[in-house]
Chain A
Amino acid sequence: DAGVIQSPRHEVTEMGQEVTLRCKPISGHNSLFWYRQTMMRGLELLIYFNNNVPIDDSGMPEDRFSAKMPNASFSTLKIQPSEPRDSAVYFCASKQGVGSGANVLTFGAGSRLTVL
């Protein structure tokens, strides 16, 4: 298994531009998470999908952020327009099972976003 695949690994963009981050979860995993990691705030859960349906988006910072999961093998996180404070590493993670903290999360390698 290739694991959770994220692209791009690095993105440098200018303020105001649209950014799209992509994620392919592990086949058979039905839960998908987007996290943001910064020095100041650590790991923050942005949104959680279960069976392709957004269950909890309370961590999405504001309307500039949106996420979709059109099918079981693909998810996107979009920022429009981007701002310098969005600079962070964005992780996608997936796991099997629902509604239990027992199942193990597998993380992608992350997408490092720099907004100038």
Chain B
Amino acid sequence: AQSVTQPDIHITVSEGASLELRCNYSYGATPYLFWYVQSPGQGLQLLLKYFSGDTLVQGIKGFEAEFKRSQSSFNLRKPSVHWSDAAEYFCAVGVRSNYQLIWGAGTKLIIKP
């Protein structure tokens, strides 16, 4: 069965420091991959997606993610975080020919001043 693992429930990073959020998936073929962000009291907003092609994808707000097939990973990165990046981040996998998205449990990002 397909699954998505975000191993870190919480991550604390100092403002200005770099960030990497981990996402690993289990699926027999190349899936569609997404990162969404949820700010407090808000809905989920798409940060970026990978469907095919270049394995390094750029998203909004200065985020990027890299698809590594050999590691079944799609980690999210940002070179320098801002206090406004404090939110919960969700990785999701889309299965071909299926309407379902498989969601990770989310990683809550805390920014230290």
Contacts and interface: CB of A to CB of B under 8 A. Distances in A.
Interface of A: 4, 31, 42-43, 45, 48, 50, 55-56, 91, 93, 98-102, 104-110
A101 B44 contact: no
Interface of B: 31-32, 34, 36, 41-46, 49, 51, 90, 93-101, 103, 105-106
B44 A100 contact: no
Contacts of A45: 100-101
B43 A100 contact: no
A106 B93 CA distance: 15
Contact of A107 (B31, B44, B49): B44
Contacts, number: 59
B99 A48 contact: yes
A98 B34 contact: no
B94 A50 contact: no
B103 A102 contact: no
A42 B105 contact: yes
